[in-house]
Chain A
Amino acid sequence: MDILDDNVFQILCTAKRLADNGFLEPFLERCGSYDLGREEFYDFAWEAVGCVFPDYTGYWNQENEIDTIVIFDPLMDEFCRLLAQYETACGAAPGESDLRHEAVTDVLRAFDLEGCLDGYYIYDYDFRICDTGHGRKRLVFLSGIEFCGIQGLPGAMADVRCTLEYQVRRLRRALGMEQETETKEAA
């Protein structure tokens, strides 16, 4: 009799977490045909990240053995646009408002994988939201060897997205846009 290996439980945990966070539909669309008993978690995890942020790119630097995940998403663009709009509206210096500081801290906190690691794994992340005038806004997640083998990674990505969505709603309310939308819907 064969024992079921850890892959099964890691995949099941990740699938459950994504389903509970509102990503069931994209998850099933992308990974629904995967066989729980035959899938490797590492490969699955890349797909699971894609369920949360479809427009992401993964890079593998062979020389340094570093994985890098770069996430582009319309949600990021909206978040940055609303932040800039808010700072203009309240007369704060660009990039200097308290709300920006709170929002960015909140998103970075969602990246935290400390609870999922053995304590020795080294990884880093960066949140490029300053408008440099070049290219799109992006989330950059620098990591180490076999980074996607860490069970908490797809769930952390889901937390990042949920936090971004929450902050966008918060900014829209602060700018009075939520109320406008509600009024339009009522009309």
Chain B
Amino acid sequence: MKLDLDLLVMRLILEQEGTVLPQASCNEYLISQVLLPLLRGEPVPLRAIDYGAFDEDDISALAEYNDAVYRIAQALGQTAERIGAIAPVARSARQFC
């Protein structure tokens, strides 16, 4: 059986009470055209940005959202590390899936 540990960890964390991915309450344009491409490591040239599509206040909201996403990613990473560190145990009886 193949087990996607990354997916499992994400699901486990999301199931925990009070742990949810933050809702994006900031400017959609900034998220889709600036934040996500940068997080994916894609270049965002300054001339490609539409400066009329957002306000100055939206930038500080975007910075806060970036911090929130990072905290979640950190928690996911730590949990993945903990699970990865658990030593495998062989079953005592043969079992077929």
Contact = CB atoms under 8 A, between A and B. Distances in A.
A20 B77 CA distance: 40
Contacts, number: 66
Contacts of B47: 28, 32-33
A38 B45 CA distance: 10
A49 to B, nearest CB: 15
Nearest to A34: B46
A34 B45 contact: yes
Given A4-B66, A15-B51, A36 B38 contact: yes
Given A12-B34, A16-B56, A1 B44 contact: no
Given A1-B39, A9-B63, A15-B51, A28 B46 contact: yes
Contact of A31 (B39, B46, B73): B46
A34 B38 CA distance: 13
Interface in A8-33: 8-9, 11-13, 15-17, 19-20, 24, 27-28, 31-33
B59 interface: yes
State the majority secondary structure of interface residues on A. Answer: helix
A17 B54 CA distance: 11
B43 A12 contact: no
A16 B44 contact: no
Contacts of B34: 12, 36
B51 A20 contact: yes
Contact of A9 (B39, B41, B45, B59): B59
9 contacts: A1-B70, A2-B39, A3-B67, A11-B46, A27-B46, A33-B46, A34-B45, A36-B45, A37-B43
Interface of A: 1-4, 6, 8-9, 11-13, 15-17, 19-20, 24, 27-28, 31-38
